[in-house]
Amino acid sequence: MNEIRPINWTGSRLELLDQTLLPHQHVTVRITDYRAAAAAITEMRVRGAPAIGVTAGYAMVLAAAELQSRERDHFIGALREAGAHIAAARPTAVNLGWAVRRMMRVAEAEPDPGSIRPRLEQEARRIQEEDEAINRRIGEHGRALMPADGQGVLTHCNTGALATSAFGTALGVIRAGWEAGGRFKVYNTETRPWLQGARLTSWEFQQLGIPATLIADSAAGVLMQRGEVSCVITGADRVAANGDTANKVGTYTLAVLAHENGIPFYIAAPTSTVDLAIAHGDDIAIEERPQHEVTGYGGTPIAPEGTPAYNPAFDVTPHRYIAGIVTETTVCRPPYTESLRQAVDAA
Ligand SMILES: CSC[C@@H](O)[C@@H](O)C(=O)COP(=O)(O)O
């Protein structure tokens, strides 16, 4: 099987596998301008916390290429403005701002303006390569949490290669468990309204040859009541210092259902998704997306015209519902204020 790699840098251009069209159309978007890269993030042509961090890195390279001719202080000032534009493309995933800050630190440390662009390119490539290596380590740490043969794991949204540079986080843990010989059952939610689960996760499992059963989001409760789910694992967009975790809307519902049914609920995320500057989940900004994503799909209306809709893209799962947070350094366990700090320091 060829590894799925949704983000490709050619040396002068960013190529993204357009996730608004998958799985039925495979279209590559070619981007040469940082504003177009930011728009691709907002429009979710590329999505998933680590993937938008990697994209932000290359968007900064494109910005530097555009600003190249300026005098150093002007250059840094203009790059900072471009960085603010890129970081504002979506509010919830910390990886976006994290990548922009990392790129800015590299630019600011470089005295020769002519060397800034190549240094940024090197750093963006490093972020992408590190992401794949980190995901593989998350898989190694997390695979022991997967259920015994015949028992079920449930996942939500898309946390696979498409949401990262390769391999994935929560989906990567499931993959690692399966590649280690586990023959547990896999369930994935469709993940309304954008259908990351039905469109992207189901496709990735097919590519991997891992049998996975798709469920409507609202079927999770009955599946758990019937004993079909032995653990739940999802990704994260931002983990607060106390372990409260923002992830795709519906994650909180699954965590409460898992708690009610005595099922462990896990998060898998790189330490770059841990935001120690945020004490608890109430302070995480939750993106609200357009109403038409709920009232219709793919340009086809579902609800009667004029129906108002509320479309928060994420929710926050309180840390008390989370049995463990799998990172590239370790599986963090409560109390998270200590274990997350240790994991971040060890990274
Ligand atoms: C490894 S991806 C982790 C999260 O980013 C993922 O679970 C998620 O919520 C993605 O949301 P999306 O709105 O599709 O970007």
Binding site membership of 83 for ligand 1 (Cβ less than 6 Å): no
220-236: per-residue pLDDT in tens? Answer: 999 999 999 999 999 99
Q: Where do the structural domains in the chain lie, given as residue ranges?
A: 7-136, 140-346
pLDDT at position 153 is 99
Model confidence at 2: pLDDT above 90: no
- Ligand 1 within 6 A of CB of 186: no
Catalytic residues, by residue number, are: 237
pTM exceeds 0.95 for this model: yes
> 7-136, superfamily in CATH?
translation initiation factor eif-2b, domain 1 (1.20.120.420)
Ligand 1: centre distance to CA 113 (Å): 36
140-346 topology per CATH: Rossmann fold (3.40.50)
A 10 A CB-CB count for 262 gives 7
Please identify which residue in the block is written with the tokens 């050619």. Answer: 10
188 lines ligand 1 (CB under 6 A): no
Residue 34 has pLDDT above 90, yes or no: yes
pLDDT of residue 55 exceeding 90, the answer is yes
Tell me the average pLDDT of the chain: 97
The atom of ligand 1 lying closest to the CA of 160 is 1
- How far does the centroid of ligand 1 lie from the alpha carbon of residue 72, in Å? 36
Per-residue pLDDT tens over the stretch 187-212: 999 999 999 999 999 999 999 999 99
- State if residue 123 touches ligand 1 by the CB under 6 angstroms criterion: no
d(CA 317, CA 254): 9
Q: How far apart are CA 13 and CA 124, in angstroms?
A: 13
pLDDT tens profile 124-164: 999 999 999 999 999 999 999 999 999 999 999 999 999 99
The minimum-distance atom of ligand 1 relative to the CA of 170 is: 1
Mean pLDDT for 306-314 is 98
- pLDDT > 90? residue 69: no
Mean pLDDT of 98-116: 95
Give me ligand 1 centre to Cα 69, in Å.
37
Q: According to the model, what pLDDT value does residue 195 have?
A: 98
Q: Is the peptide bond before 111 cis (omega within 30 degrees of 0)?
A: no
For the Cβ of 163 lying below 6 angstroms from any atom of ligand 1, the answer is yes
pLDDT value at residue 113: 85
Q: Residue 298: which pLDDT band, with cuts at 50, 70 and 90?
A: confident
Local confidence band at 166 (pLDDT 50, 70, 90 cut-offs): very high
**Percent of the residues in the chain that have a pLDDT greater than 70, as a whole number:** 99
Range in 2-6, 315-319, 321-325 with the lowest mean pLDDT: 2-6
Contact 135, 68 (CB under 8 A): no
pLDDT, residue 206, reads 98
* pLDDT reading at 218 higher than 90: yes
In the numeric block, the tokens 């795709």 are attached to 248
Cα within 13 Å of Cα(173), Cβ side: 31
Give, in order, the Cα–Cα distances in Å from 139 to each of 136, 181, 337: 5, 14, 23
